[in-house]
Structure 1
Amino acid sequence: MAKATAFIDLNTEIDQVWQLIGGFDSLPDWLPFIPQSALSEGGRVRTLKSIAGDTIIERLLDFNDAERRYSYTILSGPAPVRDYEATLRVLPGDDGQGSRVEWFGSFIPEGISDAEATALFTTIYEDGLAALKRAIER
């Protein structure tokens, strides 16, 4: 099983960050390469459209508003992996100021190496968190 992780520190209060990213349907609000999201199954499944035209369907596995985190799995999509599970969470900043956003996942590559899959998702997470920073700073 391969893993990827990324984080970003923001000079923004933890509750403000969570308000922006904490909704399972909120990716289009801060992630420009996912301009569309639609919920189904009582808010537990999201169908995403990427700017490339791909459809990604994900299921919410766990949501904890008090701990400002949620975990999800990919049900279908173009990524060359299976058994994907990821978590997005917001933590207090190290110095008690601001916040830290972490995005991490594990998966089994299909047709590519562990290193290639790890690089793919590390880039997705890092690019996503950079986009979050731009959205927060607007």
Structure 2
Amino acid sequence: MARTSTSIELPVPDFKVWELIGGFDALPDWLPFIPFSKLSEGGRVRTLTTQDGETVIERLEAFDNSRHFYTYSILQAPFPVTNYTSTLAVHQNDENSSRIEWSGEFTPVGISDDEAITLFRGIYADGLTALAESLSDSEHTTQV
């Protein structure tokens, strides 16, 4: 089983970050390479469509609104891994800043652990960069 984790620190309170990313259906609100999400099974399964038209189906495994995290697994995706589980979490640094962490573990199929780790580390890093940009854009919009 391979594991990777990426984090970013932002000058935004944890609750504000969680307001944007905390919904299991919220990826299109901040992640440009996921423009579409549809919930099913009472909100526990999301079907994502990527910019390239690929489909990713994920199941919500754990959710804690007060601790600002959720864990999900992949049911179907074009990735060369199985047994994928990931957690997206927001941690408070102080009242005006937070650390967002995206981590995952998975079993590579047909590629090395290092190749799979590089793939998901890149996805997480690109996602957290997009999150920072979304929060920056909304901050500027709020201040105007």
Query: SS where residue 24 of structure 1 aligns?
Result: coil
Shift of 1:97: 3.4
CA contact (8 A) 2:60 2:73 kept: yes
RMSD, aligned CA: 0.8
1:136 aligns to what?
135
Deviations 1:84-130 (A, max 9, x none): 0000000012x553110000000000010000000000000000000
Residue 140 of structure 2: aligned partner: none
Shift of 1:19: 0.3
- Give 1:41-60 correspondences, 5 Å limit: 41-60=41-60
Partners of 1:54 and 1:26 in 2: CA distance: 18
**Alpha-carbon distance in 1 for matches of 2:96, 2:20:** 18
Q: Work out whether 1:119 is the aligned partner of 2:118.
A: yes
SS of residue matched to 1:16: helix
Q: Which 4+ runs in 1 deviate beyond 6 A?
A: none
For 1:86, the equivalent position in structure 2 comes to 86
State how many pairs are aligned. Answer: 137
Q: How far apart, in 2, do the equivalents of 1:97 and 1:136 lie?
A: 13
The gaps in structure 2 that reach 5 residues or longer are: 138-144
Kept in 1, the 8 Å contact 2:13–2:95? The answer is no
Deviations 1:44-96 (A, max 9, x none): 00000000110000000000001000000000010100000000000012x55
Alignment of 1:93-108 (within 5 A): 93=93, 95=94, 97-108=96-107
Whether 1:3 and 2:36 are equivalent positions in the alignment is no
The one-letter amino acid paired with 1:108 is T
Q: Supply the distance in 1 between the matched residues of 2:95 and 2:29 (Cα, whole angstroms).
A: 26
Q: Structure 1 residue 4: deviation in Å? A: 1.2
Q: Distance in 1 between matches of 2:96 and 2:119?
A: 31
